[in-house]
Amino acid sequence: MTLLWSSDFSIIGVRASLNDLAPDCHPRAGHPRPIRYGHLPRRPPISPKPPPINPPPSHHPGYEFGQKSAPSTILTPFFLLPRQPVGILQTTTMDHVSKKSAQQLKLMREAGSIASRTLLGVGRMIRAGISTADLDRFAYLDTIKQGARPAPLNYNGFEKSICTSRNHVVCHGIPSDGEILETGDIINVDLTSIYQGYHGDTSATFYVGTPGAEAKHVVEVARRALDVGIAEALVGATLGDIGAAIEEFVTRQGCSVVERCDGHGIGENFHEPPWVKHYGERNTGITLEAGMTFTIEPVIVLGSQAICLRDDTSTMVTINGALSAQFEHTIAVTDDGPEILTRRSEPLQRSELFDMKWLPVTHPASNPA
């Protein structure tokens, strides 16, 4: 899952008329509170490990763990988050970043393989008429069947097994029986499996039916942006090299990186140092060493990256309704180059549909998915 910064950020206003806002950013859409300006309240800290979960009741071996529907009223204040100074990238020191042993990497490969197989199954389900809750139920059952458990479930109170972010939803969309996929949609599915105490985190954006030109563009730019970032994850490189390469590529394609959505270290903990920015400057941040494991997961939007929060306090959407796409892998830095721990064994249905030659990459990943 994507890790959001929880610091206080000043709201700098919105340069858009009400008619330019996405429907769920509009105060006339039933939201009782006016637009406010000031500061985004400090959000609860993210715990390093998810709380333990109880197994499903024996009388209901499938899917019963206190579901809740996503709130129907949407959006508190509308705001543009200011760019974080690149210097904040340097808050992680080498002492804070764990380097995994060969045995730990083996377990992470197994966790990553489980997550990738579940994502392949999700891809086979994608079609118009299915609900995002259907995808969530499948992911839960499939993960349990493989002897793992979904990391998002009950993580900081999150009551679903995956995140489903459709069209202009940037990240952390909550599955719902009322959210039905329609032809022309794009949807990101983000899932993480825990196997024998280790995490595998991956996501992909899927097409529902035949995509429009804008949908195809943002999805394929996001897909290639991940490859660009992975290619920079080399021993001796820096975290800043990853972010700079992604930002340079995405900007050339007329898109933007959402700067509030970061990658993160991963292993026994769901989220741990280092925090991986998808923008920045080369030769900044910590130097990468063999054994480091983290996610790279750039969120890409068409045009401006202006975003706002829904009332569920975790779901982010674009203010103007612009489409958003994301791809994610868990990777390990090795002496032989970056290893994708969530690499898939076959093409991803309803996602990998197009020839990528129209988006060249200067340094292709050593083992692209």
| Any domain includes 241 | yes
Cα separation, 62 vs 145, in Å, equals 10
53 inside domain: no
Classify residue 180: in a domain, yes or no: yes
Q: Where are the beta strands (DSSP E) in the chain?
A: 149-150, 163-166, 169-171, 186-195, 198-207, 255-257, 263-265, 272-276, 293-296, 299-302, 307-309, 316-318, 324-326, 329-334, 337-340
In a domain, 11, yes or no: no
- Give a yes or no: residue 61 inside a domain: no
CATH of residue 24's domain is 3.90.230.10
Residue 357 pLDDT grade (very low, low, confident, very high; cuts 50, 70, 90): low
Of the CA atoms within 13 Å of residue 280, those in its CB half-sphere come to 24
Domain with 154 in it: 18-34+70-81+89-358
Number of domains in the chain: 1
Centre a 10 Å sphere on the Cβ of residue 180 and count the other Cβ atoms it contains.
15
Residue 215: which residues within 8 A CB-CB, separation 6 or more? 184, 186, 207, 323
Q: Is residue 134 part of a domain?
A: yes
| pLDDT of residue 14 exceeding 60 | no
Distance between CA atoms of residues 111 and 116, nearest Å: 9
**Residue 349 burial (C-beta neighbours within 10 Å; 0-12, 13-18, 19+):** middle
Cβ atoms of 339 and 108 closer than 8 Å: no
Cβ neighbors of 58 (< 8 A, separation 6 or more) are: none
**Percent share of the chain, pLDDT over 90:** 62
pLDDT tens-digit map of 107-134 = 999 999 999 999 999 999 999 999 999 9
- Tallying the residues shown for the chain, one arrives at 369
**Over the stretch 216-268, which tens digit does the pLDDT of each residue have?**
999 999 999 999 999 999 999 999 999 999 999 999 999 999 988 899 999 99
Instruction: Report if residue 56 sits inside a domain.
Output: no
Residue-level pLDDT at 265: 97
Check pLDDT > 50 for residue 18: no
